[in-house]
A and B are shown apart, each in its own frame.
Chain A
Amino acid sequence: DIVMTQSPLSLPVTPGEPASISCRSSQSLLNSNGYHYLHWYLQKPGQSPQLLIYWGSNRASGVPDRFSGSGSGTDFALRISRVEAEDVGVYYCIQGLQAPYTFGQGTKLEIK
């Protein structure tokens, strides 16, 4: 199975400041169609996960443009340009290239 490693696992951020989360995979997530099968989710407290970013850098419907994804091969990042209070929760990356799809451990973002 592909192993996904996130860092940091805990991320305290001051509102208005930027934040960045790293996700590394044990093998390249580049598919033959040219897309990277790396997606990002946010699970807010008490809620089901919600899709933020797919194919490494495409924002899902309704996701604010302060969220952006980047990366290639095995190294990816999720960036929040200016953190807001509603962004608290646990962020997960997942590889969708090879079954079984595997998640990172999660990064808990909290407001300072």
Chain B
Amino acid sequence: EVQLVESGGGLVKPGESLRLSCKASGFTFSKAWMNWVRQAPGRGLELVGRIKSKTDGGTADSATPVKGRFTISRDDSENTLYLQMDSLKTEDTALYYCATAVVVSTRSAFDFWGQGTMVTVSS
């Protein structure tokens, strides 16, 4: 059974840092392109960024609002995806999901999602 379990969320002040984790199981993590998607309270979905598999280069891309502040990384030995969030702003308050494509043959159609971890940035 495919599972994605996020952790690491919490309440932080503006300017502080937080690291989120996503523990994966039930599929070959090292071959998967992994993604972070966020949803601010009452708002829509926003892709934060993605990281390719190492065999596909292992590069990470981030969305414009978080570029230079957020870093996506992965540890294939631990089947874990990370999101390092620095210089947090109040507008980063959101539920953060990790997501990936496992069954479908296109990496941009995420057929598995975690339950999300909540990040609240407030003074």
Partner-B contacts on A (CB < 8 A): 1, 35, 37, 39, 41, 43, 48-51, 54-55, 58, 60-61, 90, 92, 94, 96-97, 99-106
What would be 23 A-B contacts, judged by CB atoms less than 8 Å apart?
A35-B106, A37-B106, A37-B108, A39-B106, A41-B45, A41-B110, A48-B97, A49-B45, A49-B97, A51-B109, A58-B104, A60-B104, A60-B109, A60-B111, A90-B44, A92-B44, A94-B45, A94-B47, A100-B47, A100-B62, A101-B47, A103-B45, A103-B47
Residues of B within 8 A of A55 (CB): 106, 109
Closest 5 A/B residue pairs (Cβ):
A96-B108, A54-B109, A48-B113, A99-B61, A106-B44
Residue of A nearest to B97 (CB): A48
Residues of A within 8 A of B49 (CB): 100
Distance between A107 CB and nearest chain B CB, rounded to angstroms: 10
Residues of A within 8 A of B108 (CB): 37, 39, 94, 96-97, 101
The binding surface of chain A is classed by DSSP as loop
**B123 near A: Cβ within 8 Å?**
no
Q: A51-B104, A60-B111 are in contact. Are A103 and B61 (CB under 8 A)?
A: no
Partner-A contacts on B (CB < 8 A): 35, 37, 44-47, 49-50, 61-64, 97, 99, 103-104, 106-111, 113-116
Residues of A within 8 A of B45 (CB): 41, 43, 49, 92, 94, 103, 106
Q: Bound complex: CA of A106 vs CA of B37, how far in Å?
A: 15
Residue of B nearest to A102 (CB): B47
Residue of B nearest to A60 (CB): B111
Distance between A64 CB and nearest chain B CB, rounded to angstroms: 16
Q: A49-B45, A100-B62, A100-B64 are in contact. Are A54 and B106 (CB under 8 A)?
A: yes
Q: Bound complex: CA of A35 vs CA of B106, how far in Å?
A: 10
Q: Bound complex: CA of A111 vs CA of B105, how far in Å?
A: 33
Q: Which of B37, B50, B111 contacts A99 (CB 8 A)?
A: B50
Distance between A78 CB and nearest chain B CB, rounded to angstroms: 14
Residues of B within 8 A of A51 (CB): 104, 109-111
Contact A105 B114 (CB under 8 A): no
